[in-house]
Structure 1
Amino acid sequence: MMPRFREAGDVTLDLLHRDGRVVDSWLGLHPREFALLWRLAEQPGVCVSRKQLLADVWRIRYEPQTNSLAVHVARVRAKLEPFGLARLIATHPAGGYFLDPASGHAAPAC
């Protein structure tokens, strides 16, 4: 059974509402933004490759030659910025992303 709530640092993700909130403020995440953050929060601190995120969130198994993933990450970061949480999603030098609840730690292997 899938949990209803998942913690992503100071963000509480709610599967029923398909949105995240910080304290009592909803972020207003779009479906793919929510799915992206939910997937990263599944394994905080673990790098998820671009290929794996495209497979898990977009359900595609090929490289689409688009920057859609980077655009969605930027949108989520922009929604987290008013709470000082934009660094919650970190970019790995190898091209993946990871949830970094304690910003500033060394990047995990990707």
Structure 2
Amino acid sequence: MPFPDADTRIPRFLEAGEVRLDLVHRDGRVEACWLGLRPREFELLWRLARKPGERLTRRHLLGYPPAPPPATPPAARRCVRPGRECGGLLALRVARIRAKLAPFGLSRMIAADARGGHFLDAPDGPCAAALAAAPPPRPARAG
């Protein structure tokens, strides 16, 4: 991966819906709670947050270079790591991130696309974390 130009600024923080990603800590927070993301989980969530709502392919999310042209022999086109097929690796990382977002009611933030790949589905509106932590509403009094 090439380095950015000297005048290109990379932000320290990136908002992914209600999750604030911190590039220095390489972790995300919901309100004051750190998620405890692993480095590869952080990279995947950062990639999704840079293009919210846009479908990203499996290769892009795993950080692989773009697929070679079709004239390349099939053996060179495979997306394989020793002992692991890249789809299973992506599914594992997405599942781990969703599990870390679940206590805040944000596990559906990473959505799968029917055509393959994933996208960040972070709607605007009331904070799901605040709604999950809020006490249940009191029943209305009669009369």
Query: TM-score scaled by structure 2?
Result: 0.66
Unpaired runs of 5+ residues, structure 1, are 104-110
Structure 1 vs Structure 2: percent identity of aligned residues?
Answer: 55
Query: How many residues of Structure 1 are paired with residues of Structure 2 in the alignment?
Result: 101
Matched, 1:101 2:122: yes
> Deviation string for 1:32-60 (max 9, x for gaps)?
00000000000000000112222x2x569
> Could you tell me which residue of structure 2 aligns to residue 90 of structure 1?
111
Moved over 6 A (4+): none
* Residues 91 and 5 (structure 1), Cα distance of their counterparts in 2 relative to 1, 3 Å cut: same
Mapped partners of 2:31, 2:65: distance in 1? 31
RMSD, aligned α-carbons: 1.8
Mapped partners of 1:84, 1:59: distance in 2? 33
> Deviation string for 1:60-80 (max 9, x for gaps)?
964222410110000000000
**SS of the counterpart of 1:77?**
helix
**SS of the counterpart of 1:90?**
strand
> Could you tell me which residue of structure 2 aligns to residue 51 of structure 1?
59
Mapped partners of 2:65, 2:93: distance in 1? 15
Matched, 1:41 2:49: yes
**SS of the counterpart of 2:92?**
helix
> Could you tell me which residue of structure 1 aligns to residue 20 of structure 2?
12
Any conservation in 1 of the 2:111–2:119 contact (CA below 8 Å)? yes
The alpha carbon displacement at 1:95 in A equals: 1.4
Mapped partners of 1:59, 1:80: distance in 2? 28
* Larger Rg, first or second structure (1 or 2): 2
Mapped partners of 1:17, 1:85: distance in 2? 21
Unpaired runs of 5+ residues, structure 2, are 1-8, 68-77, 125-143
**SS of the counterpart of 1:3?**
coil
